[in-house]
Each structure stands twice: as structure tokens, then as C-alpha cells.
């Protein structure tokens, strides 16, 4: 008996899904293999992966099959081109400008501390405030 992890209903060993809730059941084969130390080594099934094992010249080759590449998941996951948002570009320019003012003020403060002269900070403050006021920030 396999017990459903979703609702707790007992199901037959060969059942693939729960008879009560319809949830997929863990197969007994996978449980036994895991308890015995894992799955036995076996050949890689390249056909299941959509690849062929033999190339056109009879030598081993792993090339994608063209019929399996077109469409499908790739078209769903492919990024879509869209034009840049003008609002976002304007916000980025404003943020860069504000950071420039902040860097000027911090540099002025550092120079003021090093030289022990307050005029550098006052000059930087007046310049940053004047530019911000003129730009409307």
C-alpha cells in the first residue's frame, strides 16, 4: 500500500495517483531503488533528451535534433525586446545627478577636515544647493 502524502489515503502499490485527491504518488520502484543505494548505472537515453547518438558519418555525435529545437519552451522563455521606458531613464538621470551632488558635498567635507578650513565646505554646499535649485531637484 502507498499512502498519499497529500491526504493520507491508502492506495494500491501500482497506482500512479491518489484515488481520493488525484495527487501524484511516489512510485514504489523509486523508493526501493533509493533504499538500495540509488539507481543502477545504465546507458544514457539520448533520444529522450532530443539528441542523437550517431552523427551522419557514423561517428558518435551529440547534436540537437532540428525538429525538437523549434518552438516549445525556448520561445516561451526567450526574452522579449521592448523599448526602454522614458520614465525610468529620467529617474536614472535624476538619481545620478543627486549622487553627484552628494559626492561633491562629501569631498568638500573631507577637504575641510584635512585643511581645517570651512570655506571648502561652504563653497561645495553653495554650489550643490544652487545647482539643485536651478534643476528643480
- pLDDT score recorded for residue 63: 54
**What is the number of residues in the chain?**
137
- pLDDT score recorded for residue 29: 52
The Cα 32–Cα 28 span in angstroms is 6
CA 24 to chain centroid, in Å, comes to 28
The answer, yes or no, to whether residue 56 has pLDDT greater than 70, is no
The answer, yes or no, to whether residue 70 has pLDDT greater than 80, is no
- pLDDT score recorded for residue 117: 84
pTM of the predicted protein model: 0.35
- Angle at which helices 119-135 and 86-115 pack, to 10 degrees? 170
DSSP assignment of 62-131 equals EEE-HHHHSSTHHHHHSPPP-PPPHHHHHHHHHHHHHHHHHHHHHHHHHHHHHHT-THHHHHHHHHHHHH
pLDDT > 90: what percent of the chain?
A: 0
- pLDDT score recorded for residue 13: 78
Residue scoring higher pLDDT (37 or 96): 96
The Cα 4–Cα 11 span in angstroms is 7
Mean pLDDT of the chain: 71
pLDDT tens sequence across 83-117: 667 888 888 888 888 888 888 888 888 888 888 88
The answer, yes or no, to whether residue 38 has pLDDT greater than 60, is no
Amino acid at each position: 500500500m502507498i499512502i498519499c502524502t497529500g491526504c493520507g489515503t491508502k492506495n494500491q502499490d501500482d497506482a500512479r495517483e491518489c484515488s481520493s485527491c488525484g495527487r501524484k504518488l511516489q512510485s514504489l520502484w523509486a523508493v526501493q531503488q533509493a533504499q538500495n543505494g540509488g539507481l543502477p548505472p545504465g546507458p544514457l537515453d539520448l533520444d529522450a533528451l532530443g539528441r542523437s547518438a550517431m552523427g551522419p558519418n557514423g561517428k558518435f555525435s551529440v547534436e540537437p535534433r532540428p525538429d525538437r529545437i523549434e518552438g516549445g519552451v525556448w520561445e516561451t522563455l526567450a526574452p522579449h525586446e521592448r523599448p526602454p521606458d522614458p520614465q525610468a531613464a529620467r529617474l536614472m538621470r535624476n538619481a545620478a545627478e543627486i549622487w553627484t551632488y552628494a559626492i561633491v558635498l562629501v569631498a568638500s567635507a573631507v577637504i575641510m577636515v584635512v585643511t581645517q578650513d570651512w570655506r571648502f565646505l561652504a563653497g561645495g554646499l553653495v554650489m550643490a544647493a544652487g545647482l539643485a535649485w536651478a534643476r528643480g531637484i
